[in-house]
Amino acid sequence: MPRYGASSFSFPEFRGATRRLVLMNLFAFFGLLLAQLAFREDAFRLIAALGFTPSAFLHGYLWQPLTYSFVHSGILGTLLELLSLWFMAGFLESMHGQNWVNGLYATSVIGTAVAATAIYLAHGTLSYSLPEIPLFGCFGGIFGLLVAIGALYGDIEFVLFPLPIGIKARYIAVIYALVSLAMLFGEVRMYAFAELGGALAGLLFIRLSPRRGFSFAFSETWYGLRNRYYRWKRRRAARKFEVYMRSQGRTVRFDGNGRQIDDDHDDKKRWN
- The CATH number that applies at residue 92 is 1.20.1540.10
Neighbours of 197 (CB within 10 A): 25
Backbone angles phi, psi at 155, to 5 degrees: -85, -5
Q: Does residue 235 sit in the same domain as residue 191?
A: no
Could you read off the pLDDT of 25-66 as tens digits, one per residue? 999 999 999 988 888 888 888 988 999 999 999 999 999 999
Q: Does residue 101 sit in the same domain as residue 151?
A: yes
Residues in the chain with pLDDT values less than 70: 1-10, 124-128, 160-164, 210-223, 256-258, 262-272
Query: 31 lies in a domain?
Result: yes
Q: Does residue 251 sit in the same domain as residue 168?
A: no
Predicted pLDDT of residue 128: 66
Q: In which element (H, E) is residue 123 found?
A: helix 98-126
Q: Does residue 155 sit in the same domain as residue 223?
A: no
What percentage of residues in the chain have a pLDDT greater than 90? 38
Predicted pLDDT of residue 267: 46
Q: Does residue 149 sit in the same domain as residue 247?
A: no
Q: Is there a contact between 35 and 27 (Cβ–Cβ < 8 Å)?
A: no
Q: Is there a contact between 64 and 113 (Cβ–Cβ < 8 Å)?
A: yes
Query: 21 lies in a domain?
Result: yes
Q: Is there a contact between 141 and 108 (Cβ–Cβ < 8 Å)?
A: yes
Q: Model pTM greater than 0.75?
A: no
Query: 214 lies in a domain?
Result: no
Query: 11 lies in a domain?
Result: yes
Q: Does residue 233 sit in the same domain as residue 187?
A: no
- The span from the CA of 195 to the CA of 128, in Å, is 20
Q: Is there a contact between 218 and 239 (Cβ–Cβ < 8 Å)?
A: no
Domain membership of residue 54 as a residue range: 6-209
Q: Is there a contact between 254 and 238 (Cβ–Cβ < 8 Å)?
A: yes
Q: Does residue 156 sit in the same domain as residue 261?
A: no
Q: Does residue 235 sit in the same domain as residue 173?
A: no
Question: What's the total number of domains in the chain?
Answer: 2
Predicted pLDDT of residue 4: 44
Q: Does residue 267 sit in the same domain as residue 230?
A: yes
Query: 1 lies in a domain?
Result: no
Predicted pLDDT of residue 3: 40
Those residues whose C-beta lies under 8 Å from the C-beta of residue 120, and which sit 6 or more positions away, are 54, 55, 58, 130, 132, 190
Q: Does residue 120 sit in the same domain as residue 226?
A: no
Query: 114 lies in a domain?
Result: yes
Peptide bond just before 162 cis, omega within 30 deg: yes
Q: Does residue 116 sit in the same domain as residue 243?
A: no
- Choosing from 158, 182, 209, the residue where a domain stops is 209
Query: 259 lies in a domain?
Result: yes
Predicted pLDDT of residue 2: 38
Could you read off the pLDDT of 75-105 as tens digits, one per residue? 888 998 999 999 999 999 998 888 899 999 9
Q: Does residue 74 sit in the same domain as residue 205?
A: yes
Query: 245 lies in a domain?
Result: yes
Predicted pLDDT of residue 271: 40
